[in-house]
Amino acid sequence: QAQLVESGGGSVQAGGSLTLSCAAGIYMQRFACMAWFRQAPGGKREGIASIDDGGKEDYKDSVKGRFAISRDNAKNTLYLQMNSLKPEDTALYYCAADKIGSGSWRQGDFRYWGQGTQVTVSS
């Protein structure tokens, strides 16, 4: 069993930056696809960024150009650099690993999930 532990959330003003980290334990090199999701209060969970084992990235349109996903297999850590934050980015952010099946990562079919880290952006 892999354990995913997110950190780096917090409260920032609009226009600010945060970097989220997801410590993935010793199994990270086995995960072909890892991703970040978020869920705002009263909203649905949505996929915002993914990265495969070849380094190919994919983003939700609303975060393109502002967020950057990366992975360091040597450190077993997944990152999400978030710049130019907006109040609508306020949500609980989750990392996910080990995509199940052949569907899009956006469907959220991942075997492992973290507990989430809160990001709050004030105007």
**108 conformational bin, left if phi > 0, alpha if psi -120 to 50, beta if neither:** left
* CA-based max dimension of the chain: 40
pLDDT score, position 103: 87
CB 50 within 8 A of CB 69: yes
Of 101, 100, 99, nearest in space to 50 by CA: 99
Using one digit for the tens of pLDDT, what is the confidence trace for 15-51? 999 999 999 977 788 888 999 999 999 999 999 999 9
CB 16 within 8 A of CB 81: no
Q: How far apart (Å, rounded) are the C-alpha atoms in residues 51 and 87?
A: 25
Using one digit for the tens of pLDDT, what is the confidence trace for 87-123? 999 999 999 999 998 889 999 999 999 999 999 999 9
Name the CA radius of gyration of the chain, rounded. 13
- The amino acid sitting at 11 is S
